[in-house]
Structure 1
Amino acid sequence: MKPWIRKAHRWLGLIFSLTLLMSSGSGVLHTVMTRTQAPPPAARPGNSLIDPASIKLTAPDAMAKLPGEATAINLRMIAGQPHYQIFTAKGKPGYVNAVTGAVDPAADEIYAGEIASAFLGGTPVKKTDYLTAFNREYIGIFRLLPVYRFDAGDGDGNRVYVSTVTGSVTRHTDDGKQFEADIFTLFHKFGFIKNKDIRDWSLTLVTGGTFAVSLLGVALFFMTRPRKRKG
């Protein structure tokens, strides 16, 4: 059995050594990222004060202006005026101006843009995407969908992802931080494999192979240990 185990350990070790290098190297990068990249921003209340006297429309009247039954309602300051943010079973919120009573279809994007600009210290931003599914940059760990993406247009590539459901920025990154994140995803999570099923099976295969190599190494340790001479 010893020659067979030696050969298996040697060849499996050679085959899976590359994945061990990828995993250990990206693991070091992950430690670096925990010190260079901030955690996802916390949700913040709105920065604009609401004048109760400016509200001319009641909540029931606002809900009656949108189709479907309301499941939740908030009061948001958008473009300097209070708006009712109303959620129905359709998912995306609808907006009714609390001063004029007008339904405002553009308010969701305007509200998201104001959140993004305020987070970046008043920097002008441009909407570059609206995500209803996760992608390589905005991955599943950020959890919230849908989100808007806004770019600052500066030299550093600052960009934020905004949820109008929570009224907050869910992710902030720039070109430098994203380069680190891309390297980690490619080497630690096999991000270069686009198909999730194939990627998951590949990760399972190499992890299982690494376990097998380690197990064979432990077996060889005990099988090849020096024998005590009998007295």
Structure 2
Amino acid sequence: MSRNWIRKAHRWLGLAFSLTAMMSAGSGVLHTVMTRTQAPPPSARPSGGGLDAGAVRISIAEAVAKLPSERKPVAVNVRMIGGEPWYQVFTGPGVPAYVSAVDGHVDPAQDERYAGEIAAGFLGGKDVKKTDYLTAFNNEYINIFRILPVHRFDAEDGRGTRVYVSTTTGSVTRHTDDQRQFEASAFTNFHKLGFIPNKDVRDWVQVITTGGLFLLSVFGVVLFFVTRPRRKGSM
């Protein structure tokens, strides 16, 4: 390869992949900013004001008997919802069943009510409104948050504050607002090419662009050596 060809290749590769380098550098700066402006993920913590064990009137076996016989329990929790104890019965993926530990009646609406209490408690008693129920990840609640399904609740505080709540863990899995989400979305678009919706296409673009930057670096090293000044008297 001639020096001129290497020089031209390095120049055009630099032009072609400079945008990728700028995006990577910019996302690195933004990541540093986010570590200082955004709180860490909320920690899982017990919800409610404590369990009133004395209010429990029926056993787990009696509670499970209230459910259809084909629904075999795999796990049971006791949750305080609305100041009363409820059995939260998991029979598989999806929304658990709720059986009153006081009188044994079944109420599917308790899942949303329980989620609302978790959200309000996390936000210091603010009024919250349910705006979504997610069974799949989306552009805001991405797969790094891991837990599904979740309820989304918004607080009318002028900042767009919202929380995502898992009734399985009894905790908030994500807490954000408009400013935090703007930063997070910018980072995702710059660093992970999140603006490309198809994952296969996104992966190929990342491979091509990072491969191009590698090739650009190789040509830069080669160009350094082939164009270095030669010592006097060298052949």
Structure 2 distance, partners of 1:130, 1:49, is 26
Structure 2: 5+ residue stretches without partners: none
Whether the 8 Å CA contact 2:48–2:81 is kept in 1: the answer is no
Identity over aligned pairs, percent: 66
> What amino acid sits opposite 2:166 in the alignment?
S
- Counterparts of 2:93 and 2:34, CA distance in 1: 38
Contact 2:47–2:121 under 8 Å retained in 1? no
Structure 1 residue matching 2:19: 3-state secondary structure? helix
TM-score, length of structure 1 as denominator length = 0.96
TM-score after normalising by structure 2: 0.95
Matched, 1:10 2:11: yes
**Counterparts of 1:85 and 1:144 in 2: how far apart (Å)?**
18
> Within the alignment, does 1:42 sit opposite 2:43 as a pair?
yes
1:90 deviates by: 4.0
Q: Contact 2:17–2:212 at 8 Å: present in 1 too?
A: yes
The aligned runs of 1:1-231 (5 Å cut-off) are: 1=1, 2-67=3-68, 68-230=71-233
- Cα RMSD (Å) of the superposition? 1.2
**Code of the aligned partner of 2:33:** V
Deviation at 1:215, TM superposition (A): 1.2
Gaps of 5+ in 1: none
1:102-149 CA-to-partner distances (Å, cap 9, x unmatched) read 011001110000000000000010000001111111111111111110
**Aligned equivalents of 2:162, 2:92: Cα separation in 1:** 30
Which deviations, in whole Å up to 9, do the C-alpha atoms of 1:182-212 show, x marking residues without a partner? Answer: 1111222112111111111111111111111
Alpha-carbon displacement from aligned partner over 1:154-188 (angstroms, at most 9, x marks no partner): 10111000011100000000111111111111222
| Pairs aligned (count) | 231
Distance in 1 between the 2:5 and 2:103 partners? 82
Q: Distance in 1 between matches of 2:205 and 2:137?
A: 21
